Structure 1
Amino acid sequence: MTIEAMDKAYVLPTYARNYDAHFVRGENAMLYDAEGNDYVDFGSGIAVCSVGHGNPRLAEAICDQAKKLIHTSNLYLIEPQARLAKRLAELSGMDVRTFFANSGAEANEGAIKIARRYGTDDEGNVKRYKIITLEHSFHGRTITALKATGQEAMHTYFGPFPDGFVYARDIEHIYDLIDDHTVAVMIELVQGEGGVQPMERSAVQKLAAALKERDILLIVDEVQTGIYRTGEVLASNLYEITPDVVTLAKGLGGGVPIGAIMTTLKEILKPGDHGSTFGGNFLSTRAALEVLEILESHKTSGELDHMMLLFEERLKEIARIYDRLFDKEVGVGFMRGLRVKEGFDAGEIVKAAFDERVVVLKAGRNTVRFLPVLTMTKEEMALGFQRFIAALDRL
């Protein structure tokens, strides 16, 4: 029985699988299928494989930890968890405590619980509960995170949903939706699934100041933008704001599942208010520590910023040359996209690119999305764009 046949027979069909390749190994920005064909990965597992595939330092750290302890539960002290929480505070420049989960959706669920706790008094009386998010946002697949997602198409089939979420058209519209029941505003500084849409910096800074004046929490979903994806440890650093809550996942573990909730509300939760069986165990936090060390060095050397600039320049050139297909280049750092013109389908471009053995992604607003590994080399970048251009020429 083939792998494809087994997948179709036994795996719940929640993904639109691409069965054209069966990847068996990787090396930095390169993937290799069962036949030995190489692919340039401009998607990095949807922004997860931050330090590349098969990274020897990450593999060694995981192997070393696995030989000692993988898991003991959060009933006991976990050294790499404590060290990781300290490192995140130091690198972000924020005065925070951190809770560790297993995914972005879990991190966002925890952030929502923090907001709801903030709006409830010590006797359990709910004073404020409403959370404002943006249209085109994406915050996860659990019931509450799905309701927080400002895309109506995501709210089909799974109701009834939790109450208390309203959606703003844009940042300016948020002010119109604030009332006496509003406890928090939750945003992505660069919408990923929504089509690689960066927020305007001055508008975000104005919003952060206004919310602080009104004692309304600012939650920033950095599941995709965090851990150097936009060039800084947090996109919040890039925007020069200090949110009350920041959520992380994806690139933090380099492929090992981990989520994190960083909050300046250091006393908001007490024992029993929240928890996770697997969250922050020895394996995931040891992996994340190694990822941060690798990426901090890559940033400090100037190589990360240099490669991000080259990538941006190349995409802008492609948008200019292939103006029949693309309106413009969009994005920040290594979170970028090409906005496809009306009459063309981003999905067709993604498929054509895959046929040329380069992995790119599709996002909302008809956008071809690029989320390359942060350790990509110039040679890998050049080969990837060579193949992407070949795909465009075929179209």
Structure 2
Amino acid sequence: MNLKEMDLQYVLHTYARNYVNFKYGKNATLFDEENKDYIDFTSGIGVVSVGHGNKRLADAICDQAKKIIHISNLYLIEPQALLAKRLVELSGYDMRLFFANSGAEANEGAIKIARKYGEVDDEIKRYKIITLKHSFHGRTITALKATGQEAMHTYFGPFPDGFVYAENLEQIPSLIDEKTVAVMIELIQGEGGVEPQDKVAVQELAKFLKQKDILLIVDEVQTGIYRTGELLASNLYEIEPDIITLAKGLGGGVPIGAVMTRLKDIFKPGDHGSTFGGNYLSTRAALEVVNMLEEYKASGKLDQKMIYFEEKLKEIAKGFGDIFVKEVGIGFMRGLRAKSSKLQSQIINKAFDKRVLILKAGRNTVRFLPPLTITKEEIDEGIERFKEALVELTS
């Protein structure tokens, strides 16, 4: 039995896989069992923020694994405290953190914070949370219901109630009633088509919600940890949310999620928890990732690469106007909007044939989430292969 047969027989079919067996990676380049190289413009769906095979991260993980991997949150965890302090300092927000294992868990934690905030004298007064259509907040039952895509809700009900979906930011005020406790948004909708929100509209909404004592939750699972060029997209949009969620790129590949909140004393012991969340291994890895990326940002190299990558994608959008409507996104969270879903699938498949890894997103968008440490040479090689794929597709 070969590896593909083994996967098909024993693993649940929740992903339509490409059956390539990667053996190792170097930064934004992966190598299969035949040693063929692939340019990775996906970074494991925005996770491998400091690239594949990063020695500094590997050394930190190895060093920690030799000492303590896990002890539980019943005891002090040194790298957890150091990571929380680092994230607060770099964000510029006066907050405390809770650590989980994923973005969905982080969003569940954010929802629980909001729901508890809505209680008065142990009685639930406000519980409704407004989210946006085309949003994506995770695969757990509550996070899935928070996701404003009806297609995602098939099969899995009944769901927890209390979620209301707005078409856009401008519609949100009209949906608020006496039971509304929070609004939850992505500043750039990833699964929803790499669609950035308008900065002025976000700022006006944040100001309005503060006046109404309604919490603003910003889901930064994909946009956070320098993906948009700043530590947080919230920094880029110049707002101060009440709650922020993180995951994906935070651990560089080691599973970790986090909830940041200005509501420092909202939980008491026993209100929330996680067996694995924030353990020694994940927080030591994340601390190394954050330190590396902060240094990289300070050097100016991150911004330079992001500008270079954006220029390359804009050239493609212009040069292949018969395929693409426009280029979208911010930083290293970018997309090319294809003219149809059929074209979108053909582009992704043809790119894979040329050994370039890219992603699908909503609104017929071809999504690019390269490692933040991608080199100019890797960008050039990946873009050249991608162009070859497009030429073949249109010839």
TM category (shorter chain) comes to: over 0.9
Counterpart CA distance in 2 for 1:261 and 1:88 is 11
Correspondence 1:284-299 to 2 at 5 A: 284-299=282-297
- In 2, the alpha carbon distance for the partners of 1:298 and 1:241 equals 24
Give the structure 1 partner of residue 28 of structure 2. Answer: 29
Contact 2:250 2:256 in 1 (8 A): yes
Matches within 5 A, 1:71-90: 71-90=70-89
* Deviation for aligned residue 1:345: 2.1
Q: Which runs of 4+ in 1 moved over 6 A?
A: none
1:329 corresponds to which residue? 327
| 1:1-395 aligned within 5 A | 1-19=1-19, 21-122=20-121, 124-342=122-340, 344-395=342-393
Say which SS state the counterpart of residue 38 (structure 2) adopts.
Answer: strand
Question: Structure 1 CA distance, aligned partners of 2:32 and 2:155?
Answer: 36
Asked if the contact 1:104/1:223 (under 8 Å) is kept, the reply is yes
Between the aligned partners of 1:225 and 1:214, the Cα distance in structure 2 is 27
Residue 17 of structure 1 and its aligned partner are, at CA, apart by 1.0
Contact 2:323 2:343 in 1 (8 A): no
Deviation at 1:33, TM superposition (A): 0.5
Q: Residue 120 of structure 2 aligns to a residue in which SS?
A: coil
* Cα distance in 1 between the residues matched to 2:388 and 2:90: 40
Q: Can you give the 5+ residue segments of structure 2 that lack an aligned partner in the other structure?
A: none
Report deviation, 1:31: 0.4
- TM-score, normalisation: structure 1: 0.99
Deviations 1:286-330 (A, max 9, x none): 000000111001100000000000000110010000000001000
Amino acid at match of 2:130: I
> When the two structures are superposed, what TM-score results if normalisation uses the length of structure 2?
0.99
1:342 Cα offset (Å): 3.6
1:325–1:344 CA contact under 8 A, matched in 2:
no
CA distance in 1, matches of 2:295, 2:388: 34
Structure 1: how far apart are the matches of 2:159 and 2:8? Answer: 31
CA distance, structure 1, for counterparts of residue 296 and residue 104 of structure 2: 28
Return 5+ residue gaps in structure 1 as ranges. none
Per-residue deviation, residues 27-54 of structure 1 (Å, max 9, x unmatched):
0000011111000000000000000000
Q: Is the 8 A contact 1:80 1:289 kept in 2?
A: yes
Asked if the contact 2:307/2:331 (under 8 Å) is kept, the reply is: yes
Q: In the superposition, relative to structure 1, how do residues 47 and 343 fare at CA in structure 2: closer, same or farther (>3 Å)? A: closer
Post-superposition CA distance 1:58-106 (Å, at most 9, x none)? 0000000000000000000000000000000001000000000000000
Which letter maps to 1:154? M
Q: AA paired with 1:111?
A: A
- Quote the offset at 1:3 in angstroms: 1.1
Note if contact 2:341-2:364 (Cα within 8 Å) is conserved in structure 1: no
Deviations 1:343-385, CA, capped at 9 Å, x for gaps = 7521110010000001011100000000000000010000000
Sequence identity (%) = 72
Considering only aligned residues, what root-mean-square deviation do their CA atoms show, in Å? 0.7
Distance in 1 (CA, whole Å) between partners of 2:358 and 2:9 is: 28
Number of aligned residue pairs? 393
Structure 1: distance between partners of 2:52 and 2:312: 23
